Amino acid sequence: MDEEVVKKYIEAGRIARIVRDEAAKLIEPGRSVLEVCTYVENRIRELGAAPAFPCNISINEIAAHYSPVVGDETSIPEGAVVKLDIGVHVDGYIADTAVTVTLDEKWAQLLEAVEDALARAIELVKPGVKFAEVGRAIEAAIKNKGFKPITNLGGHSLARYTIHAGESIPNAYDALVRGKFSSGKAYAIEPFGTNGAGLVYEGELVTIYALVRSSLRRRLDPRTKRILEAVKERFKTLPFNERWLTDVEEDVEVLRRSLRKLARMGYLVQYPVLIERNHGMVAQFEHTIVITDNGEVIVTTK
């Protein structure tokens, strides 16, 4: 990881921090989720970067992967717990960050537990530290306040144009997790906490896709082929949303059918909305960490 790459991570982190903090102030009862996400994505571009994935706004028991679709009329309800998860990239180098806003103070302690878990995790990070030890710290901090970590969600390594780069950082202690933090790498640390079961399941709704295979030799109709070519050119392997392709295909139903078809054929991966198993309330906080070649730990989104 040379100096220029570190600078790009830091710049992505700087922009992510600005946009996250601005957008968090927009979260209020009755506000359109489409309005908030449009603001986030446009503001990232305005500041000279690009979204690394569609803005996620996940409300209450929805833990992750809800991004508004074209014409989405969802609004933020009274008393909601709202997760705002955003990604920024500069030349493919990603800063991934999240914050939770509660509109009912009875959930303040849940947020405190998860935010404290993130802070404790970051304090531990240095080259050679086991991922499992960070999971232990996250689990202890969340349980200390009477909540549960969501154990089938966790942090992840980052690479250029790749959100999930192959390594996973657990949100609870797992002796079978053998990975360690290494110099020259970037990681997203993202504890989730809940008053529910501590597990999520995949819902039926899919609003986010990503390219996984671009070289399959299968016959496509001209409109679907045009959509696939736009995905490859614009997003590479980064996640995207149908809202970002309406200039390629104006007919939204055709666009949606084409995306589902490309997923069935193996070109795209789908990211279903993730829901807490017992429909418990969910909070999330996240920062991106870069460990330079000399072992310096930089938190890019504080």
Q: What percent of the chain stands above pLDDT 90?
A: 94
Residue 190 annotated as binding? yes
DSSP H helices, the chain, are 3-24, 33-46, 108-124, 131-144, 222-235, 252-264
Q: How far apart are CA 147 and CA 158, in angstroms?
A: 28
The predicted model gives 19-37 an average pLDDT of: 98
Residue 164 annotated as binding? yes
Contact 17/301 with Cβ under 8 angstroms? yes
284 falls in which pLDDT band (50, 70, 90)?
very high
Residue 156 annotated as binding? yes
Mean pLDDT of the chain: 96
Contact 277/71 with Cβ under 8 angstroms? no
> Which are the contacts of 7, defined by CB distance < 8 A and separation ≥ 6?
none
pLDDT tens per residue, range 129-161: 999 999 999 999 999 999 999 999 999 999 999
Q: Which pTM does this prediction carry?
A: 0.95
**For residue 247, pLDDT beyond 90:** yes
Contact 62/282 with Cβ under 8 angstroms? yes
Q: How far apart are CA 63 and CA 81, in angstroms?
A: 10
pLDDT value at position 216? 65
Q: Active-site residues: which are they?
A: 85, 96, 156, 164, 190, 286
Domains of the chain (ranges; CATH) run 3-202+274-299 (3.90.230.10), 207-272 (1.10.10.10)
